[in-house]
Structure 1
Amino acid sequence: MTSLASPPPPGWSLSDLAGLPTAGESISSLEISDDGGPGGRLRAARAAGLRFRAEFARSGMPATIDTCDLVTLPYPSRFGLFRATKALAPFLSITNRMLVIRWTDSGGRPRVLLFEPSDVELGRNTPYFAELLRRTPKVVANRVTTVHGTVLEHLARLGIKPSEVDYLVFDHLHTQDLRRWVGTSTFQADLNQRARAIFPNAKVIVQQDELIAMADLHPLQRPWYQPEAYRDVPLDVFLPIEGSVMLGPGVAIIKTPGHVFGNQSLVLNTSTGIWVSSENVIATECLTPEHSRLPGVAAWSRAWRQEVILNANTIETIADQYNSIILEKTIADRAQADSRFLQFFPSSELTPMWTNPGTSPTFRHCAITHAS
């Protein structure tokens, strides 16, 4: 198996991050106290979601939201439908998508945010996926992986120049290599160049907790990160945040720890109501599993009295992830097409594939589309 020994980490520290600017306006209604026991923290998350939901609905709306498919690829069923699946298929398929959000700020300046703009090519170097590719015959890998389009191809289709992008946001930095997006300070042997930033004016909004974690990874985290890819990335490309922030009308980033220590979710107010997006679950039915037709999911939820089904590949802090999903579930509106499900848009959404029997979702969103 590919070595999972810790590669050279980025050299930043907490004191380095303290000197960086941050982004947005802090959301006080989502400050959740650690007081009380585990059950109290869950109740606090639900109460915070209700408070925020009421105020966020009055925050306005962005101008446009576009959805761009990047890649469909295999992912272990035991991770994506944690403990609940009875499907025979060891793998399911997920589609990674990018959201492009545009709005005008209070000063009249147009803003562009890319949510999940993954560099799919460099993402294949993530230790877990690199090992999976090594063990999979190329002809099989080509059959189960579909690249739909690159970040730059989608932006060109939307008429957006790379220089017009203000923010890059990920729910977490698993698999992500940002060198081509934000540039490097030194020559990169594998890229055969000192990378010049494709997005020269963009800043990466990320939870401070995740940057700190990446500088000193735990063994549970190592299969999913590429810390060496951040060693020569200029620290000033980051806008570290602590908690939840409003970025613009109907655009917020909320702290949702658990899947990773520094996980965060995107919240959007649209013409159909409030949407939430992250990779905390891989299908919207995982928030209302009682309505799922996926083998084993509804029965497992009933038997274990758990109201959500986690996407859990690292299980860093699994109780926190459960609470974060409850927060997301409380904030999101009901889906207009089927009110049994919520307007939760998985950044990696479960996708039916003939090779994976028993993993076809009951309901899919496939896209968020909005124009104010």
Structure 2
Amino acid sequence: MKLAWQDHDVIHMPTLGTRITLFDCLDEVPGGYGAKLDSARTQAKAFRTEFAATGTPDSVTTCDLVTLPYPTKFGLFRASRAIAPFLSLTNRMLVIRWRESDGRRRVLLFEPSDYELGENTPYFAALIRRTPGALRSLSTTRHGTVTGHLARLGIRPEDVDYLMFDHLHTQDLRRWIGTTEPQADLGGTVKPVFPNAKVIVQRPELLAMSRLHPLQQPWYQPETYESVPPEAFLAVDGALLLGPGIAVVATPGHVHGNQTLVLNTSTGIWASSENAIATECLTPEHSRLPGIARWARTWQQEVVLNANTIETTAEQYNSLILEKTLVDRSQADPRFLQFFPSSELTASWTNPGTSPTFTHKALTHR
């Protein structure tokens, strides 16, 4: 499959922000994944101090998008003893605003999922076909749309500078960044909702999408990237400081090009990704979810992964430890960390045994 950027200089484009070199050495650590784990902890501790000194953004706002079913065996990898085969995840968008040193205003949308088109992802499309309509209506709740939330916040689409996802599973970006050719399912050539926005994505994920591995194929929609404008992408290599108290850090494993949003706020440092689906997955010893604490004790593993593709399990574990080391403890309950899952485990009566012990529900900074 030929994607839009394959004969274009997108993979050679200069990136934005200020390069963070502190994590560059992680790939070069000799001695295997155990040695890399130790190095990840050390580098994350060093970065915490530097990052806190960069300031804070002007504001961070959380917008609920959709709650939907997700297999328990994926979300609580090997650890859960819940009887329910599915749990519920709530996908949320973060709206981050800041000013550059020259006074220019910036807007970043993190996880602005077009969930209507996301339903065409092979895994979810197959699940929808197998699920009776009445059951789908019970298990899926649409809370709001990306454009609806922005209108409520008084943000014009043309004022959005950056779109960013922790990874591109399920994402169809055609409506957001437009297309260069007519799209049969969308009624013609698509004009972008966000005409000035660039998509921040790790370079390895862009490159991988042109030839997906069978483990990856159920979770991507590569055909939707054939006619999007390649200049809409900003290829990132590793970690960058985007603005005051705003950084992107490479956290590979869940997918090869996974990335994490890191924010410094009035309550301290937060990280957001889908490496885990609940903050208690980073401190499983405090979890009341059936099986979680016991599994962590038995296997001496201090985190519980979100593992649907299992691209590189040990690498994802190390990435989650890096996130765990970066963040501060919750002021609401210090047993848990300020890790904000981009899709967070949500209690539902339809899914016994999957109600989280603690949820953030929102990440807010003003």
Query: Above 0.5 in TM-score?
Result: yes
Identity of aligned residues (%): 66
Cα deviation for residue 10 of structure 1 reads 1.2
Q: How far, CA to CA, are the matches of 2:68 and 2:30 in structure 1?
A: 41
Q: Is the Cα contact below 8 Å between 2:5 and 2:11 reproduced in 1?
A: no
| Residue number among 75, 86, 89 corresponding to 2:84 in the alignment | 89
Query: Which ranges in structure 1 are unaligned for 5 or more consecutive residues?
Result: 1-7
Identify the residue that residue 137 of structure 2 maps to in structure 1. Answer: 142
Q: What does residue 13 of structure 2 align with?
A: 20
The aligned amino acid for 2:350 is T
The answer to whether the aligner puts 1:74 opposite 2:93 as a matched pair is no
1:14 Cα deviation from its structure 2 partner = 8.6
Q: Is this contact kept in 1: 2:271–2:323, CA < 8 A?
A: yes
Render the CA deviation track for 1:62-116: whole Å, top value 9, x for unaligned. Answer: 0000000000000000000000000000000000000000000111100000000
* 1:332-363, Cα deviation, whole Å (9 max, x unpaired): 00000110000000000000000000000000
Aligned residue for 2:266? 271
> 1:254-269 maps to which residues of 2 (within 5 A)?
254-269=249-264
Q: How does 1:132-281 map to 2 (within 5 A)?
A: 132-281=127-276
- Give me the whole-angstrom Cα distance separating, in 1, the residues matched to 2:302 and 2:277: 15
Indicate conservation of the 8 Å contact 1:285/1:363, yes or no.
Answer: yes
Taking the aligned partners of 2:295 and 2:214, their CA distance within structure 1 comes to 29
CA contact (8 A) 2:121 2:221 kept: yes
| Pairing 1:345-356 to 2, within 5 Å after superposition | 345-356=340-351
Q: Following TM superposition, by how much is the alpha carbon of 1:30 offset from its aligned partner in structure 2, in angstroms? A: 2.0
TM-score, normalised via structure 1 length: 0.96
SS at match of 1:190: helix
Contact 1:89 1:356 in 2 (8 A): yes
CA offsets, 1:15-71, max 9 Å, x none? 733432312111112222422222110001111100111111111000000000000
Instruction: State the distance in 2 between where 1:14 and 1:336 align.
Output: 49
Among 33, 55, 61, the alignment partner of 1:60 is 55
Q: Distance in 1 between matches of 2:302 and 2:38?
A: 14
Task: Give a deviation string over 1:289-321, Cα, whole Å, max 9, x none.
Answer: 000000000000000000000000000011110
Unaligned runs of 5+ in 2: none
Evaluate the alpha carbon distance shift between residue 14 and residue 365 of structure 1 in structure 2; reply closer, same or farther with a 3 A threshold: farther
- CA distance, structure 1, for counterparts of residue 327 and residue 5 of structure 2: 36
**Does 2:11 match 1:10?**
no
**Amino acid corresponding to residue 197 of structure 1 in structure 2:** P
Q: How many Å separate the matches in 1 of 2:180 and 2:7?
A: 20
Show structure 1 runs of 4+ deviating over 4 A. Answer: none
Aligned equivalents of 1:87 and 1:115: distance in 2? Answer: 31
Separation in 1, partners of 2:11, 2:284: 41
Letter of the structure 1 residue corresponding to residue 78 of structure 2? R
Take 1:15 and 1:49, find their aligned partners in 2: how far apart are those partners?
A: 35
Aligned counterpart in structure 1 of residue 289 of structure 2, from 294, 306, 320? 294
Say whether the 8 Å CA contact 1:9–1:227 is kept in structure 2.
Answer: no
Distance in 2, matches of 1:314 and 1:14, equals 28
Q: Is the 8 A contact 2:177 2:192 kept in 1?
A: yes
Is 1:279–1:348's contact at 8 Å kept on the other side of the alignment? yes
Structure 1 partner of 2:319? 324
The CA distance in 2 between the partners of 1:28 and 1:344, in whole Å, is 23
The answer as to whether partners of 2:11 and 2:203 remain within 8 angstroms in 1 is no
| RMSD, aligned α-carbons | 1.0
Aligned length: 364
Contact 2:4 2:229 in 1 (8 A): no
Quick one: distance in 2 between partners of 1:272 and 1:314?
Answer: 33
Give yes or no for contact 2:277–2:344 (8 Å, CA) kept in 1. yes
The one-character-per-residue Cα deviations of 1:211-245 (angstroms, maximum 9, x if unpaired) are: 00111100000000000000001111000011000
Is 1:35 aligned with 2:13?
A: no
The answer (yes or no) to whether the contact 2:4–2:230 under 8 Å persists in 1 is no
Contact 1:114–1:167 at 8 Å: present in 2 too? yes
2:45 to 50, 59, 63: 50
